[in-house]
């Protein structure tokens, strides 16, 4: 972000660029269906709060998510955007080499949806004993919509209250549970 600031890029230009990032209609439909069904939707991302919230607000979907775990992104003096890490692994380690502390606390009643062919899914499947939640990968918005609607309509899911989903599309190269992905 510092380099953009040094080049004279204004915060409003970054916001306008973020608003141009498309979400497929299938992704929007999947999120709206899950939210309307009472699911507790959460995001884990390696982006930052400024980026994630700007995109979700633009698409009118920020209210659909109860929690967004990502790096802090906020505006400081001179309209500059500052990004800080979400989790300090050196001082806050919880002993898990996979994730932020919340991910390994998911129960069999929860679902995690990592983006297929991204490092998070590979990490989860290479060491599945740490994840108790159901794992459902997706490739694109259409597959995300189909998978999410199947989960919402499954008989076993109807018995759970509240329904919890952790929606994740990972592009992190470290294999940790920092995640994001275009949808």
The pLDDT tens digits for 23-32 are: 999 999 989 9
Mean pLDDT of 104-111: 79
Mean predicted confidence (pLDDT) in 58-82: 91
Average pLDDT over the chain, rounded to an integer: 77
- φ, ψ at 156 (rounded to 5°): -70, -30
Residue whose C-alpha is closest to residue 47's, from 75, 71, 80, 13: 71
Bridge partners (DSSP) of residue 111 are 134, 165
Q: Does residue 51 carry a pLDDT above 90? A: yes
Query: What is the predicted pLDDT for the residue at 162?
Result: 44
Contact between residue 101 and residue 130 where contact means Cβ atoms under 8 Å apart? no
Residue 156's pLDDT is 56
Report the range of poorest mean pLDDT among 11-15, 19-23, 85-89, 94-98: 94-98
Query: Which is higher by pLDDT, 82 or 109?
Result: 82
pLDDT of residue 169: 41
The pTM for the full model equals 0.74
More confident residue, 7 or 2: 7
pLDDT recorded at residue 12: 93
- Between residues 151 and 181, the one the model is more confident about: 151
pLDDT in tens, 86-97: 765 555 555 565
Number of CB atoms found within 10 A of residue 43's CB: 21
| Helices vs. strands in the chain: H and E counts, helices first | 8, 6
Residue 165: pLDDT over 60: no
């Amino acid at each position: 972000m510092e380099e953009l600031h040094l080049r004279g890029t204004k915060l409003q230009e970054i916001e306008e660029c973020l608003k141009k990032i498309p979400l497929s209609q299938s992704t929007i439909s999947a999120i709206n269906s899950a939210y309307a069904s009472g699911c507790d939707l959460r995001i884990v991302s390696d982006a930052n709060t400024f980026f994630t919230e700007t995109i979700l607000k633009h698409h009118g979907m920020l209210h659909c998510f109860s929690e967004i775990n990502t790096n802090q992104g906020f505006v400081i003096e001179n309209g500059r955007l500052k990004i800080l890490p979400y989790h300090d692994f050196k001082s806050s380690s919880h002993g898990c080499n996979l994730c932020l502390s919340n991910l390994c606390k998911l129960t069999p009643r929860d679902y995690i949806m990592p983006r297929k062919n991204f490092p998070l899914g590979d990490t989860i499947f290479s060491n599945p004993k740490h994840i108790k939640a159901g794992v459902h990968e997706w490739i694109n918005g259409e597959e995300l919509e189909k998978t999410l609607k199947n989960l919402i309509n499954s008989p076993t899911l109807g018995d759970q209250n509240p329904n919890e989903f952790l929606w994740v599309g990972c592009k992190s190269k470290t294999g940790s549970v920092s995640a994001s992905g275009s949808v």
